[in-house]
Amino acid sequence: MSRPTISTITMADVARAAGVSQPTVSRALNGDARVATSTRLAILDTAERLGYVINRAARTLAGSSTNSIGFVIAEHEAHVWGNPYIPRIIAGISKELSAQDKQLVLFVAQNRHDQDRLIKDVSRRRTVDGFLMITDNRSDRFLRFLLEQQVPVVVGGRPLGFKQVSYVDVDNIGGAVAATAHLLDVGCTQVGMITGPRTTGPGVDRLAGYRRALRARGLKDNGAVYRAKDWGIDEGYAGMHRLLHEHPKLDGVFAAGELLALGALSALRTAGKVVPDDVRFVGFDDSAAASRSDPPLSCVAQPVEELGQQMAALLLRRLAGEEKTGHLMLPVQLNPRASSVGKDR
């Protein structure tokens, strides 16, 4: 049993079977309005019956679009590779793209050299119609290049230091306000925060939300803020450790990242603190992980998969000329949980 021959049904085959010309098949399949409804239906039927699948290479060669978009992972080493959201973001992107019959091509540019190669390639030959990317704003040369060249691009997470860039982000400020307000609501008087890098939009915005919530209650900033250098578990641990030493009376903590929260929690337990008896805690999480039982903590749930999907949708709209530069903010949800951690309840 040798490999079955891949049926190479072409538009010409469909045309022959349907009794029309090959260009008419092309028009019908591409939704050209000039094709008579009866013809279209006959063609669609024949194509389906014959199991026709378009040859992307031919389409790309003849047409003006590549029908594929690129996803660039350009974050600095320590960030992205510890970014637990990448798979989910990809799932969201993929969902949207496959619905529109676009291919998703992956590019990894961890260092300057990779970026240069990408820049060179893109500048000379358009391999994809546009880019989606996750960046930590450190190694942003590729993004800058894309914007200069006016190559369509949509970024995940508000990028700092760029004007006129399309991006999709979750409501970081709103989420941080809700988290902080929640801690105050349940009676905390000394609320601290571990925020993400000041070089990132989410890091800055979540801190802003925390401060806004304090201000709204007429509380003054007690300085119990740790600005993590990255989003990793280590920084969460280090941050919590430091906060506990500098602010022994802390009775509430908001850790603005999933791994930061894990690390912070670890430090709390190491210090013998019981959550929420000694210290109330709110973290960040993927909304898809909302059912997670450990840590059974209050968290701000972000729609990560939808973030990816919306990024793709926004890019496709731009490519279709329906939209110029634009932003999109996805709502988050505060997910309060009343479990105890640090000892058995």
* Interaction partner, residue 323 (DNA, a copy of itself, none; CB < 5-8 Å by kind): none
Count residues binding DNA (CB under 7 A): 30
Q: Which tokens sit at 175? A: 């989420």
Question: Whose Cβ is closer to a copy of itself: residue 66's or residue 172's?
Answer: 66
82 binds a copy of itself (CB under 8 A): yes
- DSSP SS3 for 167: strand
> Cα–Cα distance between 148 and 134 in angstroms, integer?
18
CB 136 within 8 A of CB 75: yes
Residue 87, CB-side half-sphere exposure with 13 Å CA sphere:
4
Question: Whose Cβ is closer to a copy of itself: residue 109's or residue 181's?
Answer: 109
* Interaction partner, residue 123 (DNA, a copy of itself, none; CB < 5-8 Å by kind): a copy of itself
Cβ neighbours of 14 (radius 10 Å): 25
Question: 129 to 158, contacts with a copy of itself by CB under 8 A?
Answer: 149-151
Q: Which tokens sit at 295? A: 């840590």
Question: 208 to 247, contacts with a copy of itself by CB under 8 A?
Answer: 232-234, 237-238
- DSSP SS3 for 230: coil
- DSSP SS3 for 22: helix
* Interaction partner, residue 263 (a copy of itself, DNA, none; CB < 5-8 Å by kind): a copy of itself
Please report, to the nearest 10 degrees, the dihedral formed by the alpha carbons of residues 140, 145, 151, 157 taken in order.
10
Please choose, from the candidates 95, 107, 203, the residue with its C-alpha nearest in 3D space to the C-alpha of residue 153.
107
105 binds a copy of itself (CB under 8 A): yes
CB 106 within 8 A of CB 71: yes
Minimum distance of DNA from residue 287's CB (angstroms): 38
Minimum distance of DNA from residue 25's CB (angstroms): 7
Kind and range of the H or E run holding 273: none
Minimum distance of DNA from residue 18's CB (angstroms): 9
What letter represents residue 8's amino acid? T
Please choose, from the candidates 194, 164, 166, the residue with its C-alpha nearest in 3D space to the C-alpha of residue 284.
194
Please choose, from the candidates 311, 266, 305, the residue with its C-alpha nearest in 3D space to the C-alpha of residue 287.
305
* Interaction partner, residue 35 (a copy of itself, DNA, none; CB < 5-8 Å by kind): DNA
Among 14-22, 108-116, 195-203, 213-221, the segment contacting DNA (CB under 7 A): 14-22
Question: Whose Cβ is closer to DNA: residue 37's or residue 291's?
Answer: 37
Helices (H), 247-303: 258-270
Question: 36 to 95, contacts with DNA by CB under 7 A?
Answer: 36, 38-40, 52, 54-55, 58-59, 61-64
Question: Whose Cβ is closer to DNA: residue 20's or residue 314's?
Answer: 20
* Interaction partner, residue 30 (a copy of itself, DNA, none; CB < 5-8 Å by kind): DNA
* Interaction partner, residue 288 (a copy of itself, DNA, none; CB < 5-8 Å by kind): a copy of itself
CA distance from start to end of the chain: 63
Q: Which residue has the tokens 């601290």?
A: 192
* Interaction partner, residue 267 (DNA, a copy of itself, none; CB < 5-8 Å by kind): a copy of itself
* Interaction partner, residue 7 (DNA, a copy of itself, none; CB < 5-8 Å by kind): a copy of itself
Count residues binding a copy of itself (CB under 8 A): 76
For DNA, the binding residues (CB under 7 A) are 8, 10-12, 19-24, 26-27, 29-30, 32, 34-36, 38-40, 52, 54-55, 58-59, 61-64
